[in-house]
Amino acid sequence: MRTLFEINPDLDRPALARRFADCGRVQVRDVLTAEAAVELAGLLRSHTAWSMAIHSTVDGTAQPKSFPNQELRNPSGIEAVNRAAASAEALSARGEYAFRYAHYPIVDALNGKWDPDGPYEILLEHLNAPAFLDLARDVSGIGELVRADAQATLFAPNHYLGLHSDSHVAQGWRVAYVLNLAPSDWSPDWGGYLLFLDEHGDVVEGFRPRFNALNMFLVPQDHLVSYVTPFAPASRFAITGWLSDR
């Protein structure tokens, strides 16, 4: 690999910090150098063993489940995923929380030694190195941020993330982030927007999937990822996670 992760040195951090202070969220365009963004996007598109994350009803209780990549390669695994996806849709139809998207759980992969010294372990090291954490502290104004977790995500057609608020404050979560690596020509008609809602359920702001753009926002804060349409010809790739103070 050439340059997997390198912050763009030309970011206007004071301006980004003012935007974040005004509304608790910001999109940082061109956050990585061009070379690093292309390299990281290549990792997601071509070198990732995707699992499927679905929040559905299991044994009468709504809960999340990850279907490992190897299960997606056999008929019984595909059947289980399809059942879970249908259950998730039923939850969403009742206005309850649900989701469906592909992911690669980077922290679980590190702990489970799935690919020792592989590119995702190196990426997680970069996300916890001073360069990225200092950017997050500068933009958010939260000097106590000390740790980033991460997962790779892929929202393909029919994938979505229901309305929620990330209310894990007791775990030290302070700021959520989404490092977008979607195709640069992503059309609004394809969905996949990160949307923020007020207490009345009205959308107050939305961020289009972009290439090389970092979304940061305070948690808890009501948000969702809108449904990716069946006719979308591309997928929404990203590295997502939370920045914590412990």
Q: What is the pLDDT of residues 184-241, one digit of tens each?
A: 999 999 999 999 999 999 999 999 999 999 999 999 999 999 999 999 999 999 999 9
Kindly state whether residue 72 falls inside one of the protein's structural domains.
no
Average pLDDT over all residues of the chain? 96
Q: 150 φ, ψ to 5°?
A: -165, 150
Name the one residue in this structure whose structure tokens are 């489940």. 65
Asked whether residue 46 carries a pLDDT value surpassing 90, the answer given is yes
How many domains, in total, are found in the chain?
A: 1
Res 136: pLDDT: 98
Asked if 120 and 152 touch (Cβ cutoff 8 Å), the reply is yes
- Looking at the DSSP bridge assignments, the partners of residue 61 are 58
How many angstroms separate the most distant Cα atoms in the chain?
53
DSSP string, 101-165: EEEE-HHHHHHTTSSTT-HHHHHHHHHTSHHHHHHHHHHH--TT--EE--EEEEE-TT-EEEEE-
Instruction: Answer whether residue 86 is part of any domain.
Output: no
- Between CA 3 and CA 39 the distance in angstroms is 7
Q: Is residue 210 part of a domain?
A: yes
Residue 65 pLDDT > 90: yes
Residue 35 in any domain: the answer is yes
Residue 1: is its pLDDT beyond 90? no
Say what the pTM is. 0.95
Is residue 2 scored above 80 in pLDDT?
A: no
Q: Tell me the mean pLDDT in the region 75-93.
A: 97
Do 101 and 159 touch, CB atoms closer than 8 A?
Answer: yes
On whether residue 142 sits in a domain, the answer given is: yes
Contacts of 189 (CB under 8 A, 6+ apart): 229
Which residues fall within 8 angstroms of residue 207, CB to CB, at 6 or more apart? 27, 180, 193, 194, 213, 215
- Give the CATH number of the domain where residue 21 resides: 2.60.120.620
In a domain, 185, yes or no: yes
Q: Is residue 80 part of a domain?
A: no
What count of Cα atoms within 13 Å lies in the side-chain half-sphere of residue 3? Answer: 10
Q: What is the rounded distance in angstroms from the CA atom of residue 99 to the CA atom of residue 192?
A: 12
> Quick one: what percent of the chain has pLDDT higher than 90?
95
243 and 174 in contact (C-beta within 8 Å)? Answer: yes
Task: Compute the residue count for the chain.
Answer: 246
Domain that holds residue 194: 13-53+105-244
What's the average model confidence in pLDDT over 118-124? Answer: 96
- For 166, left (φ over 0), alpha (ψ -120 to 50), or beta? left
Tokens of 181: 């690596």
Least reliable range by pLDDT among 3-17, 20-34, 167-181, 189-203: 167-181
The alpha carbon dihedral of 39, 35, 5, 132 has a sign of: negative
Q: Label residue 44 by pLDDT band (50, 70, 90).
A: very high
Residue 1 lies in a domain: no
